[in-house]
A and B are shown apart, each in its own frame.
Chain A
Amino acid sequence: MMDWWLAGFGMGQGTVDWQGEPWAIALVGAVCLVAWAVALFGPRPKGVRPGFRAVEGVGWTLALLVIVFAVAEPVQVEEEGRQEAGRLVVLVDGSASMGVHHKGVSRGARVMEVLDELRADHGELDLYTFDEALRSGAPDTFEGRGTDLAAALDAIADRHLGQSLRGVVVVTDGIDLGRLRADLATAASTDALRPDLVPSLPGPLTLVQVGTSGEMEDLAVESVVSGGFAFLRTPFTLTAVIRGAAGRSVPVSLLREQRLVEERTVQLDAEGRAEVRFEVTPRQAGRFAWEVSVPVSEDDAVPGNNSFPVVVRVVRERTRVLQVSGSPSYDQKFLRLFLKEDPSVDLVSFFILRTREDFRSGWAPEELSLIEFPYERLFTEDLDTFDLVVLQNFNYRPYFSHGRDDLLLNIAQYVRNGGALVMTGGDRSFDLGDYARTPIAEVLPVELGVTGVKTDEAPFRPMLTDAGTVHPLTRLGATEEETRDTWNRLPMMDGTNRTLGLADESAALLVHPGLQIDSQPLPVLAVREVGEGRTMALTVDASWRWSFSEAAEGRGNQAYLRFWKNALRWLVADPDDRRVVVTPSRENVLLGDAVRLTVKVRDAGYGPVEDARVTGAVVAPSGRSHDVELVTEASGEATMMFSPEERGAHRVQVSVGGRAADRGETVFAVSNRDPELARIEPDETFLRTLAAVYAERGRFIAAGSRIDPLVDDAAVRTVPERREKPLSTAPLVGLLFGLFAGLAWFARRRSGGV
Chain B
Amino acid sequence: MLPELPSPHWSRRRLLQAMGALGVVPATAWALGSASQLDVAELQVDGVSLHRPEAWQRLLFEVIQTTSVEANPSVTAVPPQDPALFSHPFTVLIGSDALSGLDASAIEQLRRFVSYGGFLLFDDASGSRDGPFARSVRELCRELFPTRPLAPLPGDHSIYRAFFLLDRPVGRVVVSEVLEGVTLGPVTPIVYCPNDLSGALHRGPDGRDRFPVAPGGEWQRREALKLGVNLVMYSLTSNYKHDQAHVVELMRDGKLE
Contacts and interface: CB of A to CB of B under 8 A. Distances in A.
A454 B28 contact: yes
Interface stretch (A90-98, A544-552, A633-641, A668-676): A544-552
Interface in B65-110: 65-70, 83, 85-87, 89, 109
Interface residues of A, number: 62
A542 B241 CA distance: 24
B241 A333 contact: no
Interface stretch (B2-10, B33-41, B135-143): B33-41
Given A358-B68, A368-B163, A369-B164, A453 B30 contact: yes
B255 A551 contact: no
B67 A552 contact: no
Contact of A548 (B86, B226, B246): B86
A351 B65 contact: no
Contacts of B28: 431-432, 452-454
Interface in B4-58: 13, 28-38
A495 B32 contact: yes
A332 B233 CA distance: 12
Which residue among B34, B115, B117, B163 has the maximum number of chain A CB atoms within 10 Å of its CB? B117
Nearest to A550: B116
A333 to B, nearest CB: 5
A455 B163 contact: no
A518 interface: no
Given A351-B240, A542-B36, A366 B255 contact: yes
B257 interface: no
Given A328-B69, A455-B30, A551-B86, A544 B36 contact: yes
A516 interface: no
A556 B37 CA distance: 22
Interface string A339-354: 0110000001111111
Contact of B236 (A332, A355, A366, A494): A332
B165 A334 contact: no
B55 to A, nearest CB: 19
Interface in B173-202: 185-187
B172 interface: no
B118 interface: yes
A451 to B, nearest CB: 9
Interface string A523-560: 00000000000000000111011011101111011000
A367 B35 CA distance: 31
B162 A371 contact: no
A353 B255 CA distance: 17
Contact of B36 (A330, A431, A557): A330
A389 to B, nearest CB: 15
A497 B32 contact: yes
B168 interface: no
A4 interface: no
Contact of A541 (B36, B67, B164): B36
Given A328-B68, A432-B29, A349 B253 contact: no
Contacts of A497: 32
Interface in A360-377: 361, 363, 366-372, 374
Given A329-B69, A353-B233, A348 B32 contact: no
Contacts of A333: 89, 117, 235-238
A459 B34 CA distance: 10
Contacts of B112: 551-552, 554
Given A328-B233, A354-B68, A557-B116, A349 B249 contact: no
Given A353-B68, A432-B29, A337 B238 contact: yes
A538 to B, nearest CB: 12
A125 to B, nearest CB: 77
Contacts of A545: 36
A540 B253 CA distance: 37
Given A336-B240, A349-B240, A351-B237, A326 B68 contact: yes
B69 A371 contact: no
Nearest to A360: B65
A496 interface: yes
Contact of A331 (B36, B69, B163, B237): B36
Contacts of B253: 371
A457 B33 contact: yes
A340 B68 contact: no
B250 interface: yes
B255 A329 contact: no
Contacts of A666: none
Contacts of A330: 36, 38, 89, 236
Given A328-B237, A432-B28, A459 B33 contact: yes
Interface in B107-149: 109, 112-113, 115-118
Given A541-B36, A552-B83, A547 B185 contact: no
A371 B250 contact: yes
Contacts of A354: 66-68, 163
B206 interface: no
B89 A427 contact: no
A549 B70 contact: no
A331 B109 CA distance: 21
A426 interface: yes
A319 interface: no
A331 B36 CA distance: 8
B161 interface: yes
A708 to B, nearest CB: 77
A371 B245 contact: yes
A327 interface: yes
B115 to A, nearest CB: 8
Nearest to A543: B36
A418 interface: no
Given A341-B185, A495-B33, A551-B116, A355 B68 contact: yes
Nearest to B90: A330
Contacts of B233: 328, 353
A425 interface: yes
Contact of B250 (A331, A352, A369, A557): A369
B228 to A, nearest CB: 13
A328 to B, nearest CB: 4
Contacts of A453: 28, 30
Nearest to A347: B243
B106 to A, nearest CB: 13
A358 B68 CA distance: 7
A372 B161 CA distance: 15
Which residue among A348, A350, A371, A452 has the maximum number of chain B CB atoms within 10 Å of its CB? A371
A432 B25 CA distance: 13
A336 B236 CA distance: 9
B226 A367 contact: yes
A548 B87 CA distance: 8
Contact of A494 (B35, B65, B187): B35
Nearest to B253: A371
A548 B32 contact: no
Which residue among B38, B66, B89, B186 has the maximum number of chain A CB atoms within 10 Å of its CB? B66
Contacts of B36: 329-331, 494, 541-542, 544-545
A548 B66 contact: no
A698 to B, nearest CB: 66
Interface in A259-310: none
Given A326-B68, A427-B70, A454-B28, 5 more contacts: A329-B36, A340-B239, A369-B250, A547-B117, A551-B86
29 contacts: A328-B69, A329-B236, A333-B89, A336-B237, A337-B117, A340-B186, A340-B238, A340-B239, A348-B243, A353-B67, A353-B68, A353-B237, A368-B164, A371-B250, A371-B253, A452-B28, A455-B32, A457-B31, A458-B33, A494-B33, A494-B34, A496-B32, A542-B35, A548-B116, A551-B86, A551-B117, A552-B112, A552-B113, A557-B117
Report, nearest first, the 5 A-B pairs whose CB atoms are least far apart: A427-B31, A552-B86, A494-B33, A495-B32, A551-B116
Interface of A: 326-334, 336-337, 340-341, 348-355, 358, 361, 363, 366-372, 374, 425-427, 431-432, 452-455, 457-459, 494-497, 540-542, 544-545, 547-549, 551-554, 556-557
